[in-house]
Amino acid sequence: MDFINQNILITGAADGLGFAISKAFANKKANLYLIDINYEKLINNNISNSRNIECDLSNLISVKKLIDKFKEEKLAIDILIHNAAVLVPKSFEKTNINYWDEMINITLNSGYLLSKYVWTNMKNNNQGKIIYVSSRSGIEGFENESAYCASKHGLEGLMKSLAIEGAEIGIQVFTVTPGMFMKTPMSEQNYQDEYKKKWVDPIELAPAFLKLASGNCKHLSGSHINAWDLSTGENK
């Protein structure tokens, strides 16, 4: 399936899974709006048919300004993929409010603001997909990840509520966890050596996002999806 004339907004698009997802949708002829704090990397990636947007999602003022710009342009988004996240392990004792706010803003608050923006157009068109990238930290707890786990758990709750509200107006909402250890800049910094032996290239997980965005997975809306299983056909 191609995504011609489909406007797709992807956050955290410069590296890792976000970059892999962007390439997959570019190959399917989508109109891409790619957000990342690393604008130079976005440019260098040279993704076809894309608009590269620099935005610090930890700064909600910047996020709101970006959304205001979208409103001025009357930009209608058909599919939102909120992938951006940062994991800097820190004990709860050393977690101050600035660090806490940064983690929550990037993952949860920016996800809320962007979802709020795309929701109206999706409702008017009676169709749309919102995909949040989650992780095991969204369903479990881990040492030195209190803020990160809280942000991912928040996404899971947001997804479940929005899926219920969106069901009658054609909006499908999912969370996606990789399901396998991925080789990304973030995992290179945080994974133990034993996990690095098992990791896969993020491009192997991209088919899951294509399937969820296609409209053929309506029955999975409201679910936490394993990207590896869906990509390899084990989760249908």
Task: Share the mean pLDDT of the chain.
Answer: 91
Whole-angstrom Cα distance, residue 127 to residue 155? 21
- Report in angstroms the alpha-carbon separations of 190 from 105, 195, 196: 21, 10, 10
Contacts of 180 (CB under 8 A, 6+ apart): 198, 199, 200, 204, 205, 227, 228
Contact 12, 85 (CB under 8 A): yes
**Residue 30 pLDDT > 60, yes or no?**
yes
Q: Would you place residue 140 in the very low, low, confident or very high pLDDT band (cuts 50, 70, 90)?
A: confident
Lowest mean pLDDT among 54-63, 129-138, 156-165: 129-138
pTM above threshold 0.85: yes
pLDDT tens by residue, 49-78: 999 999 999 999 999 999 999 999 999 999
Sign, CA torsion 124/128/133/139: positive
60: tokens are 């909600």
> Residue 232: what pLDDT?
84
DSSP string, 127-142: -EEEEEE--GGGTS--
Backbone angles phi, psi at 61, to 5 degrees: -65, -45
Domain ranges, ordered by start, for the chain? 7-232
| Residue 107 to residue 58: CA distance in whole angstroms | 8
Task: State the residue for tokens 């947007």.
Answer: 53
Which has the higher per-residue pLDDT, 88 or 170? Answer: 170
Q: How confident is the model at residue 87 (pLDDT cuts 50, 70, 90)?
A: confident
Please name the fold of domain 7-232.
Rossmann fold (3.40.50)
- Say if residue 80's pLDDT is above 60: yes
Lateral strand order in the sheet of 79-82? 50-54, 31-36, 7-11, 79-82, 128-133, 171-177, 224-226
pLDDT digits (tens, 9 = 90+) for 172-203: 999 999 866 655 555 555 555 555 455 678 89
Say what the pLDDT of residue 136 is: 83
**pLDDT score, position 33:** 98
Residue 44 pLDDT = 96
Bridge partners of residue 34, in order along the sequence: 10, 52
Helical residues (DSSP H) of the chain, grouped into ranges: 16-26, 39-45, 60-73, 97-104, 110-125, 146-166, 185-190, 193-196, 206-214, 227-232
